[in-house]
Chain A
């Protein structure tokens, strides 16, 4: 079983819809990261959080440490939000606590 699981794997939405991507993990963590990978391949960090909730523009990330679960929400989705969204955790074990990545959720927003 993967230590970081994301759902869904693929998501198609209409412009304007509210989108939720989920991430569950099974290891102890110091932080959880949400990353965005554009079709060209480059990755940008959206959020790093260890508790509660963070908001940036139309993006909201929440984490429940007790349930080992995080969600990424996109409000009023737009075609430019189309990308792969990756959940990653900084764990206490492993290679000096380096990031453990989920497989990503591919989001396509249709106009």
Chain B
């Protein structure tokens, strides 16, 4: 079955620790995205990638980093510089490279990050 997987489902971070959230897709999509969801707020874009070895900052990139070494994979690292990391993180992908064309995005099941 084609789809997007995220792991782990729950992740706990200690103070000063970097943690990495996994996102893998087997849909052969060019574009991938990372969103953060906080209670009572709409999803906010952290980073996006339109092609392998290229990625762009979204609206709230500070304290996060990404890589796109393979088409299928777009891991997100939450660094110690992110002072309020507790949130629900969603990865998504779409076929084409330009979201402005209005293409459907397919979402993973999400990772809930909690700070100890």
Interface of A is mostly: strand
Contact check, A97 vs B98: say whether CB atoms are below 8 A apart. yes
With A40-B109, A42-B110: A91-B100 Cβ-Cβ less than 8 Å: yes
Contact check, B58 vs A42: say whether CB atoms are below 8 A apart. no
* Residues from 46 to 93 in B contacting A, C-beta threshold 8 Å: 48, 50, 56-59, 88, 90, 92
Contact check, B42 vs A30: say whether CB atoms are below 8 A apart. no
Chain A residues positioned under 8 Å from B108 (CB to CB): 42
Chain A residues positioned under 8 Å from B107 (CB to CB): 35, 42-45
Q: How many residues of A contact B (CB 8 A)?
A: 30
Contact check, B88 vs A99: say whether CB atoms are below 8 A apart. no
With A41-B88, A90-B101, A97-B99: A103-B110 Cβ-Cβ less than 8 Å: no
Query: Measured between alpha carbons, how far is A91 from B59 in the docked complex, in Å?
Result: 14
Chain A residues positioned under 8 Å from B44 (CB to CB): 101
Q: Name the contact of B43 in the complex, choosing from A42, A48, A92, A101 (C-beta under 8 A).
A: A101
Q: Name the contact of A98 in the complex, choosing from B48, B90, B109, B112 (C-beta under 8 A).
A: B48
The smallest C-beta distance from A86 to any residue of chain B, in angstroms, reads 7
With A40-B109, A41-B109: A96-B102 Cβ-Cβ less than 8 Å: no
Contact check, A98 vs B45: say whether CB atoms are below 8 A apart. yes
Q: Mark A80-105, 1 if CB is under 8 A from B, else 0.
A: 00000010101110011111111110
Q: Name the contact of A42 in the complex, choosing from B57, B101, B109, B112 (C-beta under 8 A).
A: B109
B7 on the interface (CB 8 Å rule)?
no
Contact check, A31 vs B109: say whether CB atoms are below 8 A apart. no
The closest CB in chain A to the CB of B47 belongs to: A95
With A42-B110, A98-B58: A4-B48 Cβ-Cβ less than 8 Å: no
Q: Name the contact of A102 in the complex, choosing from B42, B48, B88, B109 (C-beta under 8 A).
A: B42
The smallest C-beta distance from A9 to any residue of chain B, in angstroms, reads 9
Chain B residues positioned under 8 Å from A41 (CB to CB): 88, 90, 109-110, 112
The closest CB in chain A to the CB of B4 belongs to: A42
The closest CB in chain B to the CB of A91 belongs to: B100
Query: Measured between alpha carbons, how far is A56 from B58 in the docked complex, in Å?
Result: 32
